[in-house]
C-alpha cells in the first residue's frame, strides 16, 4: 500500500526510467481524441477529422446504450454509453471546419453524465458557461452575501475571515493505493481528499506500517491489513486536536508517534521538538470557564530545545524515548519513564 500525491507506477529492473518519463509527458501533451458537451436534454460530441476524409469514410452506429465510430475502416471510438439515448433521434454532420459533430438525445432528461463512454478517458468535457451559471444559481441558497447576518443565532454561518491559515487544506489531495504483490497491479484506490497525510509508524512488526491522517482538527492512526479484503484499514488511535495544532507549525520537518500511542511528536528544521501527550487524569480539580463543568483529563504539550543550531536530519520515536539526529550529534530525549 502506498500513499502519494501523484499516481504511482512500478518500473521493472532494466527499464529506462527517463524513457518512461518522456512517454508519460507525451501522453499528457497529447490532444484529446474528442470533445463533448451536454445539456439537460442532449449531448454533443465533436471530433476533429484528419485531412482528406470524406463522408463515405465515416460510419457512426447508434444503439440505445452503445456507440461505435469508424473512420476509414479503423475503429475510432466504441463503448457503452453512460446512460441510454434515443436511438432514432441521434444524428451526425460534418462541419465546415473539418470536424464531425454527433448529437445524442438523452432518454433520462435532466441526468448529468460524468463521462460519455464508460471507462474512456480519451475525451475532454467542455462545460457550458450557461450551465455553470445555472448550477451556481441552484446552490445560491446555501451561501450568504453577508459574512454573519445574524450573530445571535445559535449556529451562525462560517465566517471566512475568521479562518486561520492552519484551517486551509492543501489544494492537491493524495491517494491511497493497494497493489497486488504478484502482479503489481492496482486493486484499490482511495482518494484521501482533505484528509491530509501526516506520517507513518510501525506499531506491530508483523503488520504493515500504520499511517496517520488529519480528520478535521484531529489526527487518526490507521492500521492497514493486507490479508483482509473486507476490513483492510483499521482505526486504532486518535490524537485529539493534533491535526489542527501541527498545521500551525510552519517549520515542521518530521512527525512521529509512540507505538503505544501514548504521545505524538513533531520536530522543526532546527532545535525545537514538540511533544503532545494523550489526555491523562488530573490530580487537581479543574473547571471549564465557559461551561462550568469539571474537566477530568488534560492533554499536555511539552517543548524540548536542543543545544545546537545544526540541521535535523532524522527523527524516531519509541514508547520511552525520542531520537533526534543532526549533522553532528544524536540526541536522546526521555519522554516516558517509570521513575
Residues facing 61 on adjacent strands: 68
Q: How far apart are CA 40 and CA 74, in angstroms?
A: 32
CB 318 within 8 A of CB 291: no
What is the structure's pLDDT at 267?
Answer: 92
Determine the 3-state secondary structure of 175 from DSSP: strand
Q: Which residue has the cell 499528457?
A: 28
Is 282:297 a contact under the CB 8 Å cutoff? yes
| pLDDT at residue 18 tops 70 | no
The grid coordinates listed for 34 are: 474528442
311 Rama sector, left if φ>0, alpha if ψ -120 to 50, beta otherwise: beta
pLDDT digits (tens, 9 = 90+) for 99-115: 899 999 999 888 889 89
Position with higher pLDDT, 229 vs 57: 57
Quote the cell numbers at residue 152: 445571535
Least confident of 103-117, 118-132, 281-295: 281-295
Instruction: Report how far Cα 308 is from the mean position of its chain's Cα atoms.
Output: 38
Domains and CATH numbers, the chain: 34-137 (2.60.40.790), 172-248 (no CATH), 250-338 (no CATH)
DSSP state, 109? T
Instruction: Lowest mean pLDDT of 14-23, 32-41, 317-326, name the range.
Output: 14-23
Question: Residue 20 is placed in which grid cell?
Answer: 518512461
Residue 128 CA, chain-centre distance (Å), reads 26
- Residue-level pLDDT at 314: 92
Half-sphere exposure of 155 (CA within 13 A, CB side): 0
Among the residue ranges 25-29, 38-42, 239-243, 325-329, the one predicted with the least confidence is 25-29
Query: What pLDDT is attached to residue 21?
Result: 60
What's the predicted TM-score (pTM) here? 0.52
Among 301, 328, 315, 309, smallest CA distance to 271 is for: 309
Q: Does 196 have pLDDT greater than 90? A: no
Say if residues 259 and 236 touch (Cβ distance below 8 Å). Answer: no
Closest CA to 131 of 36, 35, 40: 40
What is the pLDDT at residue 315? 93
pLDDT at 84 exceeding the cut of 70: yes
Q: Which residues pair with 93 in a beta bridge?
A: 101
Residue 130's CB is within 10 A of a number of other CB atoms, namely: 9
pLDDT at position 44 over 80: yes
Convert the pLDDT of each residue in 143-153 to its tens digit.
Answer: 555 545 555 55
Helix runs in the chain, H state only: 17-29, 129-138, 242-247
Q: In angstroms, rounded to a whole number, what is the distance separating the alpha carbons of residues 198 and 219? A: 8
C-alpha cell at 298: 488534560
Q: Are 114 and 123 in contact (CB under 8 A)?
A: no
- Let me know: does 122 contact 33? Beta carbons within 8 Å: yes
| Cell numbers at 179, concatenated | 497493489
Residue 329, CB-side half-sphere exposure with 13 Å CA sphere? 11
pLDDT of residue 254: 92
Highest averaged pLDDT of the listed ranges 28-37, 250-259, 274-283: 250-259
Q: In this predicted structure, what is the pLDDT of residue 256? A: 92
Provide the mean pLDDT of the chain. 81
- Radius of gyration for the chain, computed over Cα atoms and rounded to the nearest angstrom: 28
What pLDDT, on a 0 to 100 scale, did the predictor assign at position 187? 80
pLDDT score for 167: 54
What is the edge-to-edge ordering of all strands in the sheet holding 330-334? 312-317, 321-326, 330-334
* From 58-72, 128-142, 145-159, 311-325, the region with the lowest mean pLDDT: 145-159
pLDDT, one tens digit per residue, over 156-168 is 555 545 555 555 5
Q: What residue ranges in 174-249 does DSSP mark as E strands?
A: 175-179, 186-191, 197-201, 210-215, 218-224, 233-239
- As a whole number of Å, the end-to-end CA separation of the chain is 40
Amino acid at each position: 500500500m502506498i500513499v502519494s500525491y501523484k499516481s504511482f507506477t512500478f518500473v521493472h529492473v532494466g527499464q529506462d526510467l527517463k524513457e518512461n518519463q518522456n512517454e508519460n509527458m507525451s501522453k499528457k501533451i497529447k490532444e484529446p481524441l474528442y470533445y463533448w458537451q451536454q445539456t439537460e436534454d442532449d449531448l454533443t460530441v465533436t471530433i476533429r477529422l484528419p485531412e482528406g476524409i470524406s463522408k463515405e469514410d465515416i460510419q457512426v452506429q447508434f444503439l440505445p446504450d452503445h456507440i461505435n465510430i469508424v473512420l476509414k475502416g479503423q475503429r475510432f471510438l466504441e463503448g457503452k454509453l453512460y446512460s441510454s439515448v434515443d436511438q432514432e433521434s441521434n444524428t451526425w454532420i460534418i462541419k465546415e471546419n473539418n470536424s464531425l459533430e454527433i448529437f445524442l438525445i438523452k432518454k433520462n432528461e435532466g441526468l448529468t453524465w460524468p463521462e460519455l463512454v464508460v471507462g474512456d478517458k480519451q475525451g475532454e468535457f467542455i462545460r457550458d458557461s450557461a450551465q455553470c451559471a445555472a448550477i451556481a444559481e441552484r446552490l445560491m441558497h446555501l451561501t450568504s452575501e453577508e459574512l454573519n447576518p445574524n450573530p445571535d443565532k445559535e449556529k451562525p454561518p462560517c465566517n471566512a475571515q475568521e479562518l486561520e491559515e492552519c484551517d486551509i487544506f492543501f489544494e492537491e489531495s493524495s491517494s491511497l493505493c493497494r497493489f497486488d504483490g504478484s502482479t503489481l497491479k492496482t486493486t484499490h484506490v482511495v482518494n484521501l481528499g482533505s484528509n491530509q497525510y501526516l506520517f507513518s509508524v510501525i506499531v506491530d512488526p508483523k503488520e504493515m506500517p500504520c499511517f496517520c491522517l488529519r480528520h478535521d482538527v484531529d489526527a487518526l492512526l490507521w492500521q492497514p491489513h493486507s490479508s483482509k479484503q473486507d476490513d483492510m484499514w483499521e482505526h486504532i488511535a486518535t490524537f485529539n486536536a493534533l491535526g489542527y495544532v501541527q498545521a500551525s507549525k510552519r517549520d515542521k520537518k518530521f512527525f512521529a508517534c509512540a507505538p503505544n500511542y501514548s504521545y505524538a511528536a513533531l520536530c522543526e528544521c532546527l532545535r525545537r521538538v514538540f511533544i503532545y501527550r494523550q489526555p491523562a487524569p488530573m490530580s487537581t480539580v479543574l473547571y471549564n470557564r465557559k461551561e462550568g463543568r469539571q474537566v477530568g483529563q488534560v492533554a499536555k504539550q511539552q517543548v524540548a530545545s536542543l543545544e545546537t543550531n545544526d540541521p535535523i536530519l532524522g527523527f524516531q520515536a519509541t514508547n520511552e524515548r525520542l531520537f533526534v539526529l543532526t549533522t553532528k550529534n544524536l540526541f536522546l530525549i526521555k519522554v516516558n519513564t517509570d521513575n
